[in-house]
């Protein structure tokens, strides 16, 4: 019996052996994430399934990259959930049964230590912009609880683009609207917002 249990443990661990040590745990969580995604697709309005998906979704930048933007030098290709990243990340916009008090902290934490790149990071950035439209109060309230470094990291990722989109871009309009709406209540956060826009919009270096 003990030998059987030991063999099962060794077999379970072997699924993670090819993975680099620094992100082995992140990669081993992928089956849970895939299962949560499949169950949510089958029952998209279930509060339980929405919460389970958010729980399984990466909650740190390191894990996000390990899952959705992992490059394998041995095969010279991106693997894991790279191809499925658009569908998984897009679902973050549909979690209408999840309280903002749970959703927004998860998303803000996800951007700490982040850096813009095409594909998965860009998809996440687009989702943040769409959610900000209807949840700016929740975002600013959460950011007010974070350190200045965390606030700046969020806005740096939020505004990052390698090339500016003309002089009358949607980003410029959004920045002005957020500054106007939030400058009195959250002056420090608006300052971080404005500085990050100045330094990262049109200046970002991709991963």
Would you list the domain boundaries of the chain?
Answer: 27-200
Mean pLDDT for the chain overall: 88
For the whole model, what pTM was predicted? 0.85
pLDDT score for 174: 97
pLDDT band per the 50, 70, 90 thresholds, residue 206: low
For residue 165, name the pLDDT band (cuts at 50, 70, 90). Answer: confident
Say how many C-beta atoms besides its own lie within 10 A of residue 51's C-beta: 18
Is 175 in contact with 194 (CB distance < 8 Å)? yes
Say whether pLDDT at 4 is over 50.
Answer: no
- Tell me how far apart the alpha carbons of residues 101 and 66 are, in angstroms, rounded to a whole number: 26
Residue 201 structure tokens: 């919009």
Q: Indicate left, alpha or beta for 46 from its phi (over 0: left) and psi (-120 to 50: alpha).
A: beta
By residue count, the chain amounts to: 207
What pLDDT does 23 receive? 53
pLDDT at 25: 59
DSSP letters, 24-54, are: HHHHHTHHHHHHHHHHHHHSTT-HHHHHHHH
Residues 6 or more apart whose CB falls under 8 angstroms from that of 207 comprise 65, 69, 115, 116, 117, 121
pLDDT of residue 6 exceeding 50, the answer is no
**Confidence tier at 76 by pLDDT (50, 70, 90):** confident
């Amino acid at each position: 019996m003990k030998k059987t249990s030991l063999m099962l443990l060794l077999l379970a661990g072997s699924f993670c052996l090819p993975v680099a040590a620094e992100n082995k745990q992140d990669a081993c969580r992928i089956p849970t994430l895939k299962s949560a995604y499949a169950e949510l697709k089958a029952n998209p309005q279930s509060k339980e399934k929405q919460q389970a998906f958010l729980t399984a979704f990466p909650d740190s930048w390191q894990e996000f990259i390990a899952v959705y933007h992992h490059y394998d030098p041995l095969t010279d290709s991106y693997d894991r959930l790279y191809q499925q990243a658009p569908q998984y990340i897009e679902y973050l916009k549909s979690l209408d049964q999840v309280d903002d008090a749970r959703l927004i902290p998860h998303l803000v934490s996800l951007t700490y230590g982040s850096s813009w790149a095409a594909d998965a990071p860009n998809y996440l950035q687009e989702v943040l912009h769409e959610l900000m439209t209807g949840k700016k109060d929740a975002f600013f309230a959460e950011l007010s609880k974070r350190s200045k470094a965390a606030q700046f990291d969020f806005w740096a990722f939020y505004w990052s683009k390698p090339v500016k989109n003309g002089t009358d871009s949607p980003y410029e309009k959004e920045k002005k609207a957020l500054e106007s709406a939030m400058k009195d209540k959250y002056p420090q956060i608006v300052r971080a917002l404005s500085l990050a826009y100045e330094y990262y919009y049109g200046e970002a270096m991709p991963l």
